[in-house]
Amino acid sequence: MQTQPPPPPDAFVVTVIQQPAPEITFGDVILSALGLAGVLALISFALAGLLAFLLVRWRRRHPPEADHPPPVSPFIPRSNLPPSSPAP
């Protein structure tokens, strides 16, 4: 049986250590759990907020009373017409 010769005195042993897995944060877990559905939900909430903001601004600049034409009913007396309506 052959024996291995002893290593030289200036030799050293290299042990290869595998890289540790990268840390996973709580945010990473939430984002991966939500996935595409979560991203779409966040986008829809943002767009709904923007639309609500624009509708509120539109209604403040254009109140509903200004959108209606003057009444043409014969039962409404002419004295009750708003001042912005033209008099016939």
Q: What pLDDT score does 28 carry? A: 84
Does the predicted model carry a pTM greater than 0.75?
no
C-alpha 7/C-alpha 49 separation (Å) is 73
Question: Where do the structural domains in the chain lie, given as residue ranges?
Answer: 37-63
pLDDT tens, the chain, 88 aa long: 677 777 777 777 778 888 887 888 888 887 787 787 888 888 999 999 999 999 999 988 877 765 666 667 777 666 555 565 555 5
C-alpha 70/C-alpha 85 separation (Å) is 6
Q: What pLDDT score does 48 carry? A: 97
Q: What pLDDT score does 54 carry? A: 96
* Phi/psi of residue 55, nearest 5 degrees: -65, -40
